[in-house]
Amino acid sequence: MKKIIIIGGGISGLATAWLLRSKAQAAGKELQITLLEKEERPGGKIRSIQADGYTCEWGPNGFLDSKPQTLDLCRALGVESNLHRSNDNARKRFIYSGGELHQLPDGAPTFLTSRLISWPGKLRLALEPTPFISSAPAGVDETLAAFGRRRLGGEALDKLIAPMVSGIFAGDPETMSLISCFPRIAELEREYGGLIRAMIMLGKKKKKDIADGKVVSSAAGPGGVLTSFREGIQYLSDALTTSLGGIVKTGITVTSVQKGAESPYQVTCSDGTCYEADQVVMASPAFAAAEMLAGLDSGISAVLRQIPYASMTVICFGYRREQIKCSLDGFGYLIPKKEGRNTLGTLWDSSMFENRAAENKVLLRSMMGGACFPGYITLTDDEVVARVRQDLKMTMGIDSAPEFVRVFRHPQAIPQYTVGHGARLQKLEELLKGHQGLILTGNSYRGIGLNDCVAAAERAADEALLCA
- pLDDT per residue as tens digits for the range 266-279: 999 999 999 999 99
SS3 string, the chain, reads: CEEEEEECCEHHHHHHHHHHHHHHHHHCCCEEEEEEECCCCCECCCCEEEECCEEEECCCCCEECCCHHHHHHHHHHCCHHHEEECCHHHHCEEEEECCEEEECCCCHHHHHHCCCCCHHHHHHHHCCCCCCCCCCCCCCCCEHHHHHHHHCCHHHHHHHHHHHHHHHHCCCCCCEEHHHHCHHHHHHHHHHCCHHHHHHHHHHHHHHHHHCCCCCCECCECCCCEEEECCCCHHHHHHHHHHHHHHEEECCCEEEEEECCCCCEEEEECCCCEEEECEEEECCCHHHHHHHHCCCCHHHHHHHHCCCEEEEEEEEEEEEHHHCCCCCCCCEEECCHHHCCCCCEEECHHHHCHHHECCCEEEEEEEEECCCCHHHHHCCHHHHHHHHHHHHHHHHCCCCCCCEEEEEEEEEEEECCECCHHHHHHHHHHHHCCCCCEEECCCCCCCCCHHHHHHHHHHHHHHHHHHC
Q: Is the pLDDT score of 379 beyond 70?
A: yes
Mean pLDDT of 243-263: 96
- Structure confidence at residue 208 as a pLDDT band (50, 70, 90): low
Tens of pLDDT, residue by residue over 382-414, are 999 999 999 999 999 999 999 999 999 999 999
Instruction: Give residue 209's pLDDT.
Output: 58
> Would you say residue 215 has pLDDT above 80?
no
Domain 48-89+309-415: what homologous superfamily? Protoporphyrinogen oxidase, mitochondrial; domain 2 (3.90.660.20)
* pLDDT value of position 195: 87
Is pLDDT above 60 for 456? yes
Say yes or no to pLDDT of 42 above 50.
yes
Among 201-215, 227-241, 283-297, the least confident range = 201-215
CATH match for 120-211 among 3.40.47.10, 2.60.120.1140, 1.10.3110.10, 1.10.3720.10 = 1.10.3110.10
- Tell me the pLDDT band of 217, cut-offs 50, 70 and 90: very low
The per-residue pLDDT of the chain, averaged, comes to 93
199 pLDDT tier (thresholds 50, 70, 90): confident
Q: What are 27-40's pLDDT values in tens digits?
A: 999 999 999 999 99
Q: Is 218 a residue whose pLDDT tops 50?
A: no
pLDDT band at 356 (very low <50, low <70, confident <90, very high): very high
Q: Note the pLDDT tens digit of each residue in 150-189.
A: 999 999 999 999 999 999 999 999 999 999 999 999 999 9
Residue 139: pLDDT over 70 = yes
pLDDT at 137: 84
Any idea where the domains of the chain sit in the sequence? 2-44+235-307+417-467, 48-89+309-415, 120-211
Residue 219, pLDDT > 60, answer: no
- Mean pLDDT, rounded, for 446-458: 97
pLDDT digits (tens, 9 = 90+) for 308-339: 999 999 999 999 999 999 999 999 999 999 99
Check pLDDT > 70 for residue 216. Answer: no
CATH of 2-44+235-307+417-467, one of 3.20.20.140, 1.10.10.10, 1.10.1740.10, 3.50.50.60: 3.50.50.60
Phi, psi (degrees; rounded to nearest 5) at 325: -90, -25
Q: Among 54-68, 207-221, 298-312, 434-448, which stretch is predicted with the lowest mean pLDDT? A: 207-221
Banded pLDDT at 210 (limits 50, 70, 90): low
